[in-house]
Amino acid sequence: MLRKLVLLGLAAAIVGLCVFWFVTIPATIPASALAPYTPNAANGREMFYAGGCTSCHATPGQEDRTRLGGGLGLKSPFGTFYVPNISSDPNDGIGKWSEADFLTAMQKGTSPDGRHYFPAFPYGSYQRMRTEDVRDLFAHLKTLPPVQGKVRDHDVPFPFNVRRLVGGWKFLYLDGQPFQGDSARPAEWNRGAYLVNAPGHCAECHSPRTALGGIIAAQRFAGGPNPEGEGWVPNITQKGLGDYSEKDIAYLLETGQTPDGDSVGGSMTTVVRNTAQLTPEDRNAIAAYLKTLAPVEGPKKPEKSKKD
Amino acid sequence: MLRTVIAVAAIAIGVTAVAAQSDPIAARKALMKEQGAQTKIGAGMAKGEAPFDLSKAQAIFANYIDTAAKMPELFPPNSKTGGETTAAPKIWEDPAGFKAGFVKLSNEAKAAQSNVKDLDSFKSAFGGVTKNCGGCHESYRVKKS
């Protein structure tokens, strides 16, 4: 009897492992899936700034934000991630990557050597980008200067350093769906919704997360504790931005200034360095979309301040 | 009359100085608040919500210069916490970088004072000078709520 139970348990474990193995296979996009295409340089630049690549990939403390040598330490509850070099350098950056490699990274979160990227790289949002936009972005990245130097390994302790486990995270939180617009809404709203949810990846910081690091869908955009440590990320639903006009939001994205004469700080400062480079139409579209986000109560703040 | 004005001014300065010494957190918050109020006036003009007014524009830059001169002294080591301060620890870890930010703000505000003549020159100068707000808040302020 005991023998049978042990055998049964063993069989269940093997089946479970097989299922886990199957479910967590890193997905890729084959080169054969890509039709011939001529990239649009202007759109590539717009995607580059909408995507905020430089916020994380520009080497810290460097004036020129287009030198993407990486190295920034991104703190998280799971350890510190060191942002890789995505400059056009053939050895240390992505100079040797194919278009399919880049699409696979952006939309499947899988590296050219077939490993899962940690979702500190916000492919949960980038997966929603249009393939053409990703191809234009790739073409733009190729025009930026090569920067030598490999970035150090992540400082992520066991068990989070087991890459295969990221496959489980993807199973839970990565749906592989492209952006879905709303044909009942104006074109500007749809553009804004796309910029915010796909390249802009605003929800990645402006939403609370589960203990496993997934965005809590019901509180998307409702802010929460800063994943990088101290401080609080603001609620950008109408609960938090009810007093902002569309013009106020667009002006903030251009200048970093809030309607009360304050300025944004922390990581948002680098975000604004990017959004300041977007076309005014795109900033207005983002503002138009954000103004339609229903008010959602975020996680409770640790201390109440009279000021807020 | 003149004597009264001087006396009142002297008392006002004295009170401010004492307040700054006894409660630097409240003093720097008040300065930031006033700077924010001035910036709001500037943003209103830059956004076209309010008509351009050269004397208001000059007052904004004068306020920046004044604030930049007073702020660096309001962060003694005993004011790292308390009073709902949003001051980041980096202020005391990198005092040179922190102070350099105010020198830059002051210099750029002075340049703006002499360059601004109309709405267009104001927009460009105001946009440039106020980059310093975020430049400093990026590293030296932590919003806790």
Per-residue tokens: B70 = 């007073």
Residue B9's pLDDT band (boundaries 50, 70, 90)?
low
Q: What stretches of B2-71 adopt beta strand conformation (E)?
A: none
Residue B14 pLDDT > 70, yes or no?
no
Tell me if chain A has a CB within 8 Å of the CB of B15: no
Q: Test B43 with A259 for CB contact under 8 angstroms.
A: yes
User: What pLDDT, on a 0 to 100 scale, did the predictor assign at position A228?
Assistant: 80
Least Cα separation, residue A269 to chain B (angstroms): 6
Substitution target from A252, A263, A268, A274 for chain B, most B beta carbons within 10 A: A263
Q: Test B43 with A261 for CB contact under 8 angstroms.
A: yes
As to burial, measured by CB atoms within 10 angstroms (0-12 exposed, 13-18 middle, 19+ buried), residue A23 is exposed
| Contacting residues of A for B145, CB less than 8 Å apart | 232, 301-305, 308
Q: Which residue from B37, B43, B143 is facing A266, i.e. has the nearest CB? A: B143
Among B68, B85, B79, smallest CA distance to B23 is for: B79
Give the Cα-Cα-Cα angle B102, B53, B27 (nearest 5 degrees). Answer: 35
User: Model's pTM, two decimal places?
Assistant: 0.89
Per-residue DSSP letter, A153: P
User: What pLDDT, on a 0 to 100 scale, did the predictor assign at position A306?
Assistant: 43
Per-residue tokens: A32 = 């054969």
Average pLDDT over residues B34-40: 96
What is the pLDDT tens value at each position of chain A, 308 positions in all?
788 999 999 999 999 999 999 989 999 999 999 999 999 999 999 999 999 999 999 998 888 999 999 999 999 999 999 999 999 999 999 999 999 999 999 999 999 999 999 999 999 999 999 999 999 999 999 999 999 999 999 999 999 999 999 999 999 999 999 999 999 999 999 999 999 999 999 999 999 999 999 999 999 999 999 888 778 999 999 999 999 999 999 999 999 999 999 999 989 999 999 999 999 999 999 999 999 999 999 998 766 444 44
* CB contact at 8 A, A260 and B34: no
Sign of the torsion formed by the C-alpha atoms of A76, A81, A83 and A84: negative
User: What pLDDT, on a 0 to 100 scale, did the predictor assign at position A105?
Assistant: 98
User: What pLDDT, on a 0 to 100 scale, did the predictor assign at position A295?
Assistant: 98
User: What pLDDT, on a 0 to 100 scale, did the predictor assign at position A305?
Assistant: 47
Sign of the torsion formed by the C-alpha atoms of A194, A195, A196 and A202: positive
Q: Which residue from B36, B47, B145 is facing A251, i.e. has the nearest CB? A: B47
Per-residue tokens: A119 = 């979702």
Q: Test B40 with A232 for CB contact under 8 angstroms.
A: no
Q: Which residue from A255, A301, A306 is facing B127, i.e. has the nearest CB? A: A255
Residue B83's pLDDT band (boundaries 50, 70, 90)?
confident
Least Cα separation, residue B4 to chain A (angstroms): 35
Residue B53 pLDDT > 60, yes or no?
yes
Per-residue tokens: A61 = 């403390």
Per-residue DSSP letter, B82: S
Q: Test A301 with B145 for CB contact under 8 angstroms.
A: yes
Per-residue tokens: B42 = 């500037």
- In DSSP terms, A224 is beta-bridged to A233
* CB contact at 8 A, A234 and A290: no
**Backbone angle region of A114, left / alpha / beta, with phi > 0 → left and psi within -120 to 50 → alpha:** left
Per-residue tokens: A57 = 């990939």
Residue B6's pLDDT band (boundaries 50, 70, 90)?
low
* CB contact at 8 A, A288 and A246: yes
Q: Test B137 with A264 for CB contact under 8 angstroms.
A: yes
Nearest residue on chain A to B143, judged by CA atoms?
A231
Q: Test A232 with B143 for CB contact under 8 angstroms.
A: yes
User: What pLDDT, on a 0 to 100 scale, did the predictor assign at position A143?
Assistant: 97
Number of other CB atoms surrounding residue B126 within 10 Å: 24
Q: Test A257 with B143 for CB contact under 8 angstroms.
A: no
